[in-house]
Amino acid sequence: MEIIAYGVLTDEEPLLREAFDEAFAGAHELRCLGLFLDRDTALTAQGHEIVLSSVNDTLDAEVLRTLAEGGTRMIAQRSTGHNNVDLTAARDLGLTVARVSYYSPYSVAEFAWTLALAVNRRVVRAVHRTREFDFRLDGLMGRDLRGRTAGVVGTGKIGAAFARIAHGFGMRLLGWDVAENPDCLALGMEYVSRERLFAEADLVSLHVPLLPDTHHLVDKEALALMKDDAILVNSSRGGLVDTDALLETLRAGRLSGVGLDVYEEEAGVFFLDKSLEVMTDERLARLMTFSKVLVTSHQAYFTREAVGQIARTTAANVADHLAGRSGENTLVGPEPA
């Protein structure tokens, strides 16, 4: 059987092939495509029972219907997030959908800190200057993090890893989540209301999934609560932040730094080379004009360890489907035996 994978990145492909070779010993051929799965490309999956999707693929009802009509029976999402998949439509069409429920939390937590430190110490601006042999320090002053307050929004595996690093810096920890994490409590974290966290934190880092209840969690009201010199980091999902409200806040001269690895309209932009095109997304273009804002293209998860784990779990999900099994990664499919 040929299994088709969409949105496969150059550095990801060898790890994905290695995982499938180990899982199936060459019994199934893996076809890797760089293009993303959407309404324009769905027909290319015709005749493939199993489709491996990426987080930036569009799997709405129309795309899923096209896949089902072409013979697809399983969607294996190569990510934890699955807000790009219409699960209701998948269930109605009799499709199995699985995801990767867990991979290295350190990859994302460490990258969130990379963004936080870079904007705090003005690293990008400094590098641009020194490349032009401008070695002045004007405008590059940052702040010590020791003794300041880190607000961790979402204290699951990734949030807890972020909190441990903050604890290592000697920071006070505030947390917000639907349930308290004992590991975070052991670090001295105090769980508070969302409003208090935004008001007191010097650094706010987002680590919650994108759900209807968390969409635009960081809205105009939340941003108004934040300190004028606070730092905001989002390495989770773009839809957590109201971009219009963030732009308004930045235009008012507020916030010391913003690190964004995700953006609410990133589909069709991130993972692609747009350097020779006109940037038609005016909000993204405006974000780029602020020297205190650092935008990266959804790369927080992108370590050899995390991508390798994602590949192995995806192969295991496919094996479960072929065996008629359902497990912890199954979002839609047969009931567990």
Measured CA to CA in angstroms, residue 188 lies from 24, 85, 130, 165, 174 at distances of: 46, 38, 40, 13, 9
Provide the 3-class DSSP secondary structure of residue 70: coil
- 212 vs 79: CA distance, rounded Å: 19
What amino acid occupies position 316?
Answer: A
298 is catalytic: yes
- Phi-psi sector, 201: left (phi>0), alpha (psi -120 to 50), beta: beta
Q: Report residue 298 CA to chain centroid gap.
A: 6
CA distances from residue 145 to 148, 215, 256 in whole angstroms, order as listed: 5, 29, 13
Exactly one of 12, 49, 264, 266 is catalytic; name it.
266
* Rg of the chain in Å (alpha carbons): 21
> What is the C-alpha separation between 55 and 117, in angstroms, rounded?
27
Q: Smallest Cα–Cα separation from 96: which of 325, 312, 315?
A: 325
Pick the catalytic residue: 237, 264, 312, 321? 237
- Which of 148, 298, 312, 321 is labelled catalytic? 298
CA angle 6, 9, 10 (to 5 degrees): 130
User: H helices of the chain, where?
Assistant: 13-24, 61-69, 87-92, 105-120, 123-131, 157-168, 182-186, 194-200, 220-225, 243-251, 282-288, 304-322
Q: What is the DSSP letter of 177?
A: -
CB-count exposure of residue 47 (10 Å: 0-12, 13-18, 19+): exposed
Catalytic residue positions, numbered: 237, 266, 298
